Amino acid sequence: MANKPNQVSDQLVTWSELEGKVVLITGASSGFGWDFSINLAKAGCKIIAAARRLDRLETLCNLINKSSSFNTPLAMPLELDISADSLVIEAAVQKAWTAFGHIDVLINNAGIRGSTSTTLQLSNEEWNNVFKINLDGTWLCSKYVASRMRDAGIGGSIINISSIYGVNRVVGVGSLAYSSSKAAMHTLTTVMALEFGIHNIRVNAIAPSIFRSEITKELFQMKWLRRVFDKIVPQPFFYDATVDPSLTELIRYLIHDSTKYVTGNVFIVDGGNTLAGVPIWSSL
């Protein structure tokens, strides 16, 4: 009997299995991070789920470990506030490193949208808070993980979760701090890729549009959103896209050793809605 399409796909896609890879995921208590953790655990990865809400992380890790066929835990929770002092972040990274003996992959997923204040209304506190979490936290986590990868001589992959708001052809009113932080993340990605390459550490970013997730559930219930998608997204089916597999397959690809020459890139995943440079939330 012929193989079913999904069985054939599993055999052909080399990154469908990532057994043994140790992955640290920030912002894992909800949204993208939650979905990434579950998906990568299914691929055989060992997950260090990091975020501020320890109770949520424990629920996530219990869910992963209960569904695992292994005798030892596949996932462990790590309380981490990436807006904390650098010494606190380094201590958390060290704890993550010792959990499974090393880290192969860092997914810098934690981030905030911040307020929708216009440039003239935006406060210094709002600006600083967005940058501290979206940029400083990404830099510090990357710094401390990469330094340990270098010292251990194992190399690895760092994946920064950005946004289409960081792409220069996307403009959104009330997104000054957020857009600036994500654009800066793209520069951070390319510079780190340049500097970490000698240590066999590759660095890439993913710039997604809005996807259905726990965080965006209420947004997708708004009738006007479908009309916006219909007008600005070339792929009409994008409205129904989900994190898994839309983003998780790309994450798996960037983790797999076959992508050892893929570094310094920003992968846009948006169904083509930024191709024409249409401003988000325009009057179209």
**Which residues are tagged catalytic?**
178, 182
Residue keyed to tokens 């179209």:
284
- ∠ CA 282-211-96, rounded to 5°: 130
Backbone torsions φ then ψ of 202, nearest 5 degrees: -100, 150
